[in-house]
Amino acid sequence: MSDHSVLPSDAALKIRAIQSLLSEKGFLSQDVTDTIVDYFETKVGPRNGAQVVAKAWCDPAFKARLLQNGRDAVKELGYAGFEGATLHVLENTDSVHNIVVCTLCSCYPWPVLGLPPIWFKSTPYRSRVVIDPRGVLAEFGTDIPAGKEIRVWDSNAEIRYFVLPQRPANSEGLDENALAQLVTRDSMIGTRIL
């Protein structure tokens, strides 16, 4: 039995109110809403990016293509829609950690990462990560060793960035599907390590 005394969050209530108004006015049907939600839940999103990362970890030839031309490589897996933008894939290594930001707005590779998180679009993240990336990463709980270089990449309308995280230690026996389960959206932005 559900607890009907617990109210939905303010955001959920606002979404329901907007959806009701649009539906009442005839601008948006429930079928359209369901199609849009399905698109963002199953067609684009971090699961797509996780599949790209897992394939790169398992297939050196694919990884080479991905690092050379990210947009064409992800199209091989059926993920497209970068609106003419170049997808540049940044590989995290033992000596370099990459992190992505869009200082002007929130340019973001939707087909492989889905909807951008709220913090990615926030002014504090966008302004601080370029000045103090190590400090911002620490706030995410990500401690990068002092000797490791941190590179901050600024996305824009023409170029989108996607981080290829380092493969976790002790994951050699896992297949692509199991590896994909380890990959997080934040690791593909560079704010977390696996």
Domains of the chain: 10-42 (no CATH), 45-189 (3.90.330.10)
56: left (phi over 0), alpha (psi -120 to 50) or beta: alpha
Q: What is the CA radius of gyration of the chain?
A: 19
Catalytic residues: 102, 105-107
Per-residue pLDDT of the chain (194 residues; tens, 9 = 90+): 445 556 666 766 777 788 788 888 888 787 887 787 777 666 778 999 999 999 999 999 999 999 999 999 999 999 887 666 789 999 999 999 999 999 987 788 888 998 888 899 999 999 999 999 999 999 999 999 999 999 999 998 889 999 999 999 999 999 999 999 999 999 999 999 99
Distance CA 162, CA 90 (A): 6
105 labeled binding residue = yes
**What are the b/e assignments for 64-91, b being 16+ CB within 10 Å?**
ebbeeebbebbeeeebeebeebebbbbe
Q: What distance in Å separates the CA atoms of residue 56 and residue 64, rounded to the nearest whole number?
A: 8
58 marked among binding-site residues: no
